[in-house]
A = this chain, B = another copy of it.
Amino acid sequence: MQRKLRFGMVGGGRGAFIGAVHRMAACLDGTAELVCGALSSSPAKARASAMDWFLPTERAYASYTEMFRRETRLPPSRRMDFVIIVTPNHVHAPAILAALEAGFPVACDKPLCLSLAEGKKIAAAIRRTRLPFLLTHNYSGYPMVRQARVMVRAGRLGRIRKILVEYPQGWLATRLETTGQKQAGWRTDPKRAGAAGCMGDIGTHAHHLAEYVSGRILQEVCADLTRFVRGRKLDDDGNVLLRFDQGVKGVLHASQISVDEENGLSLRIYGEKGGLEWRQEEPNTLIWKRLDSPRQILRAGRNYGHLDEHARSACRLPAGHPEGYLEAFANLYVAFNRDLEAWRTGRKLTGDYPGIHEGLRGMSFLEAVVRSSRAGGRWTKLPFG
Tell me the minimal C-beta distance from A70 to chain B in angstroms: 23
Please tell me the number of chain A residues within 8 Å of chain B, measured between CB atoms.
Answer: 90
Among the stretches A26-34, A207-215, A362-370, the one at the interface with B is: A26-34
Are A271 and B289 touching (Cβ within 8 A)?
A: no
Check B317 against A21 for contact (C-beta < 8 Å). yes
**Cross-chain contact B320 with A281 (CB below 8 angstroms):** yes
Q: Determine, out of A35-43, A122-130, A249-257, the stretch whose residues face the partner at the interface.
A: A249-257
A30-B53, A322-B325 known; A296-B294 Cβ under 8 A:
yes
1/0 per position for A175-191, CB-CB distance to B under 8 A? 00000000000000000
**Do A325 and B317 have beta carbons less than 8 Å apart?**
yes
For the complex formed by this chain, how many copies does it contain in all?
Answer: 4
A162 at the interface (CB under 8 A from B): yes
Please state if A259 and B290 are interface contacts (CB–CB under 8 Å).
Answer: yes
Q: Most B CB atoms within 10 A — which of A170, A250, A251, A295?
A: A295
For A376, the chain B residues whose CB sits under 8 A away are 379
Whether the pair B258, A239 counts as a contact (CB closer than 8 A) is no
User: Quick check: which of A96-104, A112-120, A260-268, A332-340 contacts chain B, the rest being far away?
Assistant: A260-268
User: Can you give 29 A-B contacts (C-beta < 8 A)?
Assistant: A21-B317, A23-B30, A24-B29, A24-B316, A27-B30, A162-B257, A170-B275, A173-B272, A222-B224, A224-B249, A226-B249, A239-B242, A258-B289, A259-B272, A259-B273, A260-B295, A261-B275, A261-B320, A263-B318, A281-B284, A288-B294, A294-B298, A296-B296, A321-B325, A322-B325, A323-B324, A324-B324, A326-B326, A326-B327
